[in-house]
Amino acid sequence: MHSRDLCLQADRQDELANLRHQFSLPHGVIYLDGNSLGVLPKTATARSQHVLEQEWGVGLIRSWNTARWFELPTRLGEKLGRLIGAEAGEVVVTDTTSLNLFKALAAALRIQQAQAPKRRVIVSERDNFPTDLYMMQGMIDFLQQGYELRLIDETLSLEQALTDEVAVLALSHVNYRTGAMYDMAEVTAKAQARGALVIWDLAHAAGAVPVDLNGADADFAVGCTYKYLNGGPGSPAFIWVSARHQDRFWQPLSGWWGHSRPFDMATDYQPAQGIRRFLCGTQPILSMSLVECGLDVALQVDMAALRKKSLALTDLFIQLVEQRCGHHPLTLITPREHASRGSHVSFMHPQGYAVMQALIARGVIGDYREPEVLRFGITPLYLGYADIWDAVEVLRDILDSASWNQPAFMARAAVT
Ligand SMILES: *Cc1c(COP(=O)(O)O)cnc(C)c1O
């Protein structure tokens, strides 16, 4: 597409174009950060008011039963599960991605201890999202049983890493920095053939790309609802556990919400059957209630159509940046190959931080990741072709005029 008019024409023919009206988007902003914090679904305003004033204000303690607060983690889990190839009873919405990874890892290590106790290696990726690596390090340190973290990188391939000492392979489906995507079925099969259990982090995949956990025969998965699922800032995460593992062990954060009869107030822990045992304690009901608003929009969409538009938009973004900003020192670090690309695009630029601040000042909101990475989330639910054109035009102007070169754009904020 070589002109804004052609982009507008593509928007007119886009069957998903109307979905953006279900979101409340600020004027004068092109939002390319839905991979970090999704936008506000319009229904969330009335929903939050209802939960506050009626369910909490009037219903008070009765709402645990009458508004079915107690069932929210499983009820929302069932809805979310439809987006990631899960069956009913395999997902709960709860806690944070970091915490859920800890639970999944603990359960996976317990299963391996029972069936293959010599396996003491956890394999992940040097370029994985840091909290995932930190949680693995925390688990290893806590267990004090000689576990080791082995990281794949340029010097160690996945094939090389998957020796017969490996207990668990834990990877992100879509890489948070580069947007590179693994073939979930292929990697899962490869790891399982070598005796490892597989945990997928779907933080940048759920709601962004088609995911089929049961189709891939994966073991565990975790992910966020505040990114592509538009659940709201800090909204609870999710955990999926294959039905074949759910009742084998329980996870060590065995709080009363995972108990089979929490209101017996028994002295001893007795895990609930099924996925509820992956809950810990009382849930943030206000925040969790709003997760449903984002899920209800996502569930109206055919994932294959969404994926098609995502690839068309990311292709267009790459093509326009290379055509119109090609004389600047920008390096694409996102795979060009469709099968290996998620739904965001990243370019490195030596002054990446300042360039991103200049973009944000002009209403084009992406984000910056170390080192030197400009990251652009391309969310087909509420972005169109002309948005991509306009965003690249602003980038071109900022680079051509070097307007990023100002002290105000160099000062680092606490959150990038
Ligand atoms: C965003 C993200 C997280 C965030 O974890 P929190 O516990 O919600 O802070 C974790 N892992 C990956 C891969 C992410 O992209």
- Give 26-45 pLDDT, tens digit per residue: 999 999 999 999 999 999 99
Neighbouring-strand partners of residue 41: 23
Please tell me the predicted confidence (pLDDT) of residue 213: 98
Confidence of residue 254 (pLDDT cuts 50, 70, 90): very high
Cα(130) to centroid(ligand 1), Å: 8
What whole-number distance in Å separates Cα of residue 344 and Cα of residue 378?
Answer: 5
Please tell me the predicted confidence (pLDDT) of residue 155: 98
* Atom 1 of ligand 1, nearest CA residue: 203
Pocket test for ligand 1, best of 94, 202, 222, 224 (most atoms within 8 A of CB): 224
Active site residue 201: yes
Cα(380) to centroid(ligand 1), Å: 21
Residue 404 has pLDDT above 80, yes or no: yes
Q: Cβ distance 398 to 362 under 8 Å?
A: yes
Q: Is 354 in the pocket of ligand 1 (CB under 6 A)?
A: no
Query: Closest Cα to residue 77, out of 107, 56, 100, 45?
Result: 100
Strand boundaries in 73-117, DSSP class E: 91-93
Token pair, residue 73, equals 């983690």
Q: Residue 398 burial (CB < 10 Å; 0-12/13-18/19+)?
A: buried
Q: Is 125 in the pocket of ligand 1 (CB under 6 A)?
A: no
Strand, helix or coil for residue 377:
strand
Please tell me the predicted confidence (pLDDT) of residue 76: 98
Active site residue 375: yes
Q: Cβ distance 344 to 365 under 8 Å?
A: no
Token pair, residue 67, equals 């508004």
Cα(131) to centroid(ligand 1), Å: 7
**Can you say how many angstroms the Cα of residue 172 is from the centroid of all Cα atoms in its chain?**
9
Query: Closest Cα to residue 356, out of 348, 347, 344, 368?
Result: 368
Token pair, residue 345, equals 């695009």
Active site residue 412: no
* Atom 15 of ligand 1, nearest CA residue: 203
Q: Cβ distance 356 to 408 under 8 Å?
A: no
Please tell me the predicted confidence (pLDDT) of residue 413: 85
Cα(172) to centroid(ligand 1), Å: 10
Residue 412 has pLDDT above 90, yes or no: no
Q: Cβ distance 380 to 313 under 8 Å?
A: yes
What whole-number distance in Å separates Cα of residue 345 and Cα of residue 85?
Answer: 25
Q: Cβ distance 288 to 362 under 8 Å?
A: no
Q: Is 201 in the pocket of ligand 1 (CB under 6 A)?
A: yes
Residue 267 DSSP label: S
For residues 246-266, give the mean pLDDT. Answer: 95
Measure Cα distances from 403 to 136, 360, 362, 370, 394 in Å: 42, 12, 11, 21, 11
Pocket test for ligand 1, best of 127, 132, 133 (most atoms within 8 A of CB): 132
Active site residue 226: yes
Please tell me the predicted confidence (pLDDT) of residue 414: 86
Active site residue 164: no
For residues 280-308, give the mean pLDDT. Answer: 98
Token pair, residue 78, equals 């069932």
Q: Cβ distance 288 to 235 under 8 Å?
A: yes
Residue 57 DSSP label: I
Cα(86) to centroid(ligand 1), Å: 20
Confidence of residue 2 (pLDDT cuts 50, 70, 90): confident
Looking at the CA of residue 226, tell me the nearest atom of ligand 1: 8
Residue 54 DSSP label: I
